Amino acid sequence: MSNLGIGQLAKRAGVAIDTVRYYERNNLLSPSTRLASGYRRYGDAELKRLRFIRRAKALGFTLEDIRGLLSLSNERSVAKVKQAAEAKLADVEHRIEELERIRDGLRTLVKACPGHGRAEACPILNSLNAEDVP
């Protein structure tokens, strides 16, 4: 079992030292112990936990979401964890659909635009000025 200082921990997890302390202030991660000097010491559990946080963040969870996930893992409430992941999945899928609509719109405009001539002939400009639905 490794016994890491904050710098080593941060390096191994791929985050900044300040971020580790920031997470501590925000109740996401505490050192397993402190030296008499006050230096933080971390073990494998904390390294895992920090990597958990980093990954969950990469998956689009906010720090608050992650606090929730971490506390669920203590409660051993697998159903709730799955629910949270499903909700986040639905959210991500929704955002993809919206972006795909935008992408298709942009593609159509780019294809239709001659790239020269008068502004009134540019479908991109005309589209931005179009009438929208409330």
Partner DNA sequence: CTTGACTCTAGACCATGGTCCAGACTTTAG
Partner DNA sequence: CTAAAGTCTGGACCATGGTCTAGAGTCAAG
Q: Which residues bind a second copy (CB under 8 A)?
A: 12-14, 45, 48-49, 51-52, 54-56, 58-60, 69-70, 72-73, 75-79, 81-82, 85-86, 88-89, 92-93, 95-96, 98-100, 102-103, 105-107, 109-110, 113-119, 121-122, 124-125, 127-132, 134
Residue 68 interacts with, from DNA, a second copy, none (CB under 5-8 Å by kind):
none
Angle at 10 between CA 9 and CA 13, to 5 degrees: 85
Q: How many CB atoms lie within 10 A of CB 100?
A: 10
Q: In sequence order, which residues have a C-beta less than 8 Å from that of residue 69 and are 6 or more positions away? A: 52, 56, 61, 81, 84
32 binds, among a second copy, DNA, none (CB under 5 to 8 A by kind): none
Minimum distance from residue 6 beta carbon to DNA (Å): 4
List residues binding DNA (CB under 7 A): 5-8, 15-19, 21-22, 31, 34-40, 57, 62-64
Question: Which residues pair with residue 41 across a beta bridge?
Answer: 33
- Could you give the angle at the alpha carbon of 88 between the alpha carbons of 86 and 94, nearest 5°? 105
Q: Is the Cβ of residue 17 or residue 70 nearer to DNA in the bound state? A: 17
| CA-closest candidate to residue 37, choices 12, 78, 5, 10 | 5
